[in-house]
Amino acid sequence: MLRVAGRKFSSLPWRSSAALYPNNPAAASSSSSQSPSISRSVPSLSPFSFNSQLPNLIRGFSSDALSRGHDVGMISDLPATVAAVKNPTSKIVYDEYNHERFPPGDPSKRAFAYFVLTGGRFVYASLIRLLVLKFVLSMSASKDVLALASLEVDLSSIEPGSTVTVKWRGKPVFIRRRTDEDIKTANNVDIASLRDPQEDAVRVKNPEWLVVVGVCTHLGCIPLPNAGDYGGWFCPCHGSHYDVSGRIRKGPAPYNLEVPTYSFLDENKLLIG
Amino acid sequence: MDSAIRRRSQGGLFEGLYRVIMRRNSVYVTFVIAGAFLGERAVDYGVHRLWEYNNVGKRYEDIPVLGQRQSEE
């Protein structure tokens, strides 16, 4: 009811003002010739058109109410949309049944509308970021693969001087708890005489614990612990001797035993890899 | 609200912000990305608070004393 009342109120001054200035410069000549007739006919026609088209207004179809039927005469059987296409006019009529318009010349709510759209775009940007991350990170290693990549070892049961072998990534890893003598022996070596010169301090984080990968650097056999001439390991395949720090001393192997990445979680826990 | 905006087209918070931000597309895109970042943080914080308000006392941190013994391996 309010909408229809607003329509009645706004249609009269709106139509007369629309007739006063033609908003289509291309059709200026045609509209100027039409405007005297329109301005004369508008006051008489608007209540007239209302009453004749009130049933259509009630039904809510806007095409009949907005069509220029009273000018064309409604002789042909054309639907209102086709008639509108065939008779272009600069007198644009908007359907105000559902939405009221601002009067012409009113500063629009453009900024407010744009900021509402910006709010939506915040959400879209966040969504795009989430989707990209999900799809790209889905290609990284899954948790079970990562779980196999590292190994936790409990060190509390290893006696000083003994060696423990654990399996990590398919390879044996020697963990030796060294006594003070072993550490002294490891440090008293002339570095320059080694085939692969490395200080003992470089190879261990905590001198008490030696962690090396138990694969001979010659051709990949597994050295035997507590064997060999240097108190460390002896590879039975070709006779490579490794010392207490896992360095090669005698035999065909070129490099020292590899030191993997490891860290101490607690006082008694070792995380390899 | 309609009449207020109708009266002054030069003023208004939205109008001023429009003139600053929506001149150039690069500035606007930066604004959208920054707003998305801040908005996501705000929404995360809000939902987190709401979740905890709805689940009072059920978190792991709410258990009073866990003891000094080491967790079993």
pLDDT tens digits for A111-157?
A: 999 999 999 999 999 999 999 999 999 998 888 888 778 888 888 88
H or E element, residue A126: helix A110-137
Q: How confident is the model at residue A51 (pLDDT cuts 50, 70, 90)?
A: low
Catalytically active residues of A are: 238
Question: What confidence score (pLDDT) does residue A70 get?
Answer: 55
The pLDDT value recorded for residue A26 is 44
Query: Quick one: which of A100, A73, A71 has its CA closest to A88?
Result: A71
In the numeric block, which tokens belong to residue A78?
Answer: 């054309």
**Coil, strand or helix: which one is B27?**
helix
Edge-to-edge strands of the sheet including A163-168? Answer: A163-168, A171-177, A209-213
Model confidence at B42: pLDDT above 90: yes
Cβ-based contacts of A110 with chain B (< 8 Å): 18
Share of chain B above pLDDT 70, in %: 74
Say what the pLDDT of residue A40 is. Answer: 45
pLDDT band of residue A58 (cuts 50, 70, 90) is low
**B32·A121 Cβ contact <8 A:** yes
Task: Considering only the beta carbons, identify the residue of A111, A152, A266 that sits closest to B15.
Answer: A111
Q: How far is B16 from chain A (nearest CA, A)?
A: 9
Is the model more confident about A29 or about A178?
A178
Q: What are phi and psi of A188, to 5 degrees?
A: -90, 20
Q: What is the pLDDT of residue A205?
A: 86
Joined together, the tokens standing for residue A41 give 């006919």
Distances (CA, A) of A107 to A229, B4, B7, B15, B37: 96, 11, 8, 11, 32
B3 touches chain A (CB under 8 A): no
Residue B6, chain A, CB below 8 Å: the answer is yes
B46 close to A (CB below 8 A): no
Nearest to A189 by CA among A201, A206, A172, A204: A201
User: Cα distance from A215 to chain B (closest Cα, Å)?
Assistant: 29
Contact assignment for B5 to A107 by CB distance below 8 Å: yes
ipTM value greater than 0.85: no
Q: Are A174 and A232 in contact (CB under 8 A)?
A: no
* pLDDT for residue A82 is more than 50: yes
The whole-angstrom distance between B57's CA and the closest CA on chain A is 30
Would you call B18 and A122 a contact, using CB atoms and an 8 Å cutoff?
A: no
Would you place residue A98 in the very low, low, confident or very high pLDDT band (cuts 50, 70, 90)? very high
- Res. A268: pLDDT tops 60: yes
Whether the CB-CB separation of A177 and A208 falls below 8 Å is answered with: yes
Contacts of B14 in chain A (CB under 8 A): 111-112, 115
Q: List the single range of A34-38, A175-179, A235-239, B50-54 with lowest mean pLDDT.
A: A34-38
User: Which range among A8-12, A21-25, A212-216, B21-25 has the greatest average pLDDT?
Assistant: B21-25
Average pLDDT, chain B: 82
For A167-211, how does the pLDDT look when each residue is reduced to its tens digit (9 = 90+)? 888 889 988 888 888 888 888 888 888 888 888 888 888 888 888
Nearest chain A residue to B7, by CA: A107
Q: What is the pLDDT of residue B45?
A: 97
- Please tell me if residue B5 touches chain A, with a CB cutoff of 8 Å: yes
Q: For residue A154, which residues of chain B lie inside 8 Å, CB to CB?
A: 73
For B32, the closest of A125, A152, A154 (CB atoms) is A125
**Closest residue, chain A, to B23 (C-alpha):** A111
Q: Which residues of B touch A152 (CB under 8 A)?
A: 73
> What does the DSSP 8-state code read for residue A104?
T
Q: CA-CA distance, A203 to A259, in Å (whole number)?
A: 7
* Residues of chain A with C-beta less than 8 angstroms from the C-beta of B73: 152, 154
